[in-house]
Amino acid sequence: MNLSFETPDGQRITPVIERLILSGFAGRSTEDVEHHIAEMARQGVPRPPHIPMFWPVLPHLLTQGHEVAVYGDETTPEVEYVLFTWRNDLYVTLGNDQCDIAVEAHGWSERSKNLCQKTVAQQAWPVADVLPHWDELELTLTCNGEVLQEDMLSALIEPRTLLEQVSAADGLQNGGRMVFSGTIATKGQLPKPPYNVAMLIRDPVRDREIAHAFRVTALTALHGLASGSPD
């Protein structure tokens, strides 16, 4: 998958993503992880067999567009930081792990992760520029103007630890691999699609942000048939 990112110095980088890994239940605090597990359990999602979890996802699901189509009305957006390498340098950007909660409730988390497009922003920062104040970076996701997710990166596994754990699970190679961090706590109720999502990662030290907005729409069944009905 070919993506394009603008860096703070105005350079345009074009990494080729050959491997996409999504993380889950990757909070730095055990208490926060257990809270997220309980939150997912209320939606019918079973407890994960490992903490954190890592799922391989088809790279062609990545998009930098402003429209995301889903099937049905039981998917949810999740804001995350995203790591990738380009010419041996590590970069961070912003991403949305849209996933199907109805499918995940059956214990098919990996299948759920592969059913929806994954949106990433069009800007990226060298990790070296923000690592000294990493924990002060802030993630936010709003839906139709209402804040549904908001926390600092101190809530999530730091990048070095995340990449070490991904390498242990997926192999040591880093080139061509993009890693989503796992998400932060959600508050409030997500509406049924269509809805508008705005996500950002803010750097209060350098007074800058990466932002991306997109609209989520749902395919509807034809001829008034419910999903799974015979033709």
Are the C-beta atoms of residues 143 and 17 closer than 8 Å to each other? Answer: no
CATH superfamily, with its number, for domain 5-219? Fumarylacetoacetase-like, C-terminal domain (3.90.850.10)
What mean pLDDT value characterizes the chain?
A: 91
pLDDT band at 226 (very low <50, low <70, confident <90, very high): low
**pLDDT tens by residue, 60-73:** 999 999 999 999 89
| Continuous H helices in the chain | 30-41, 101-104, 109-113, 127-130, 159-170
User: Is pLDDT at 218 greater than 60 in this prediction?
Assistant: yes
Ramachandran region, residue 81 (left: φ > 0; alpha: ψ -120 to 50; beta: rest):
beta
pLDDT band at 230 (very low <50, low <70, confident <90, very high): very low
**pLDDT tens by residue, 166-194:** 999 998 776 799 999 999 988 888 899 99
Helix (H, G, I), strand (E, B) or coil at 142: strand
Q: Round to whole Å and give the CA distance between 27 and 34.
A: 9
